[in-house]
Amino acid sequence: MDQATPGQHRRPRAPLTRLGRNVARGPGRDAAEAPTQDRRRRHSHDGSRDSLRDVILGGQDGLVNILGIILGVVAGGGGRTVLISAGFAAAITESISMGAVGYTSTTEDRDYYAAQKQVEEVAVEDDGDLECQEIEALYREKGFSGDLLDQVVATITANRDRWVGTILSEERNLHPVANRDVVRSSTVITAATLIGHLIPLVPFVFLSRHVALIVAIALSAAALFGVGAYTALTRVGSWWKNGARMIAIGLGAAAIGFAIGRLFNAGGAGIATRRRRRVSGQAAASPLSPRTATRVTTRRVLLRAFPEYQM
């Protein structure tokens, strides 16, 4: 075992963590710059993770929302023009709404972090010894001890911003939100929601209604499976299980829209049938003038051709 010379500390064993390695080097330039570099790496990683979350949030919401509307309109007997008009209107309004939700949510996270940072800055200023003990206890739980623990605590508490940031991130699990993150989140969610709406809607612009419906369902299932599989591949889990789960959730929610459309269509058909029977009964009960008979016949034809119109 190496012996320490007088006036020198024995060199600690190489720690397993990046922070421990930086502290072990001493208070040189590398150790001083390491926290800033780590924050940049973490910010880049968190930004990619948040962008993926925003894409999934907006894309899945838009796709499932418009697919439910399409199936509901088709089941309710709506025409192609009505379907396209309702679909594009829903795409625009829902995209703006989701973008606003993303903006509001990210802004609240930013403001909450700023408020908690002020609280911790006051705590560090007024009761620094207690806050220093919290840092020491925090890193003792991570496995640091002895001289290395003292160096870690001294390095962190030497800079107040680093000190407060460590408390917020390590103890409170809070991370700063920049203004560009607010804009990025809102923009990504808006674009993803709009694209999600367009995937099942565009086929109805170019294809016949029945063919477009099949293509829309197939494209939606493929998009949902792709998002689920990509999420699993970039994180953890089985890619095909996650993809299948996304399909089940998305198409299951859209099926509810189809069921509601069928329900209203059946109700409208029943009302139209009762009206036709009443008109037929009135015609059989009393002789009609030629003019009235013509009107009744015209009404029957219209009701038979367009049951959704109640005359």
Per-residue confidence (pLDDT) for residue 117, from 0 to 100: 93
Q: Which residues contact 152 (CB under 8 A, 6 or more apart)?
A: 19, 20, 23, 139, 144
Considering only CA atoms, which of 306, 238, 294, 300 is closest in space to residue 268? 306
Q: Tell me whether residue 287 is in a domain.
A: no
Q: Tell me whether residue 261 is in a domain.
A: no
Q: Tell me whether residue 23 is in a domain.
A: yes
pLDDT in tens, the chain (311 residues): 444 444 444 434 434 444 454 544 444 444 444 444 455 445 444 556 678 889 888 988 899 999 989 988 888 787 888 899 999 999 999 999 999 999 999 999 999 999 999 999 999 999 889 999 999 999 999 999 899 999 999 999 999 999 999 999 988 899 999 889 999 999 999 999 999 999 999 999 999 888 999 999 999 999 999 988 988 888 778 889 999 999 998 899 888 888 888 887 755 545 555 555 565 555 555 565 666 767 767 777 666 666 655 54
Q: Tell me whether residue 285 is in a domain.
A: no
Q: What is the number of structural domains in the chain?
A: 1
Helices (H), 127-141: 128-141
* 128-135 long-range Cβ contacts below 8 angstroms, 24+ apart: 128/157, 131/157, 131/163, 131/167, 132/157, 134/167, 134/171, 135/163, 135/166, 135/167
Dihedral over alpha carbons 98, 102, 105, 111 (to 10 degrees): -140
Q: Tell me whether residue 260 is in a domain.
A: no
Q: Tell me whether residue 235 is in a domain.
A: no
Q: Tell me whether residue 38 is in a domain.
A: yes
Q: Which two tokens stand for residue 286?
A: 């009393």
Q: Tell me whether residue 154 is in a domain.
A: yes
Check residue 207 and give left, alpha or beta (phi > 0: left; psi -120 to 50: alpha): beta
Tell me which residue range forms the domain holding 117.
18-208
Query: Terminus-to-terminus CA distance in the chain, angstroms?
Result: 100
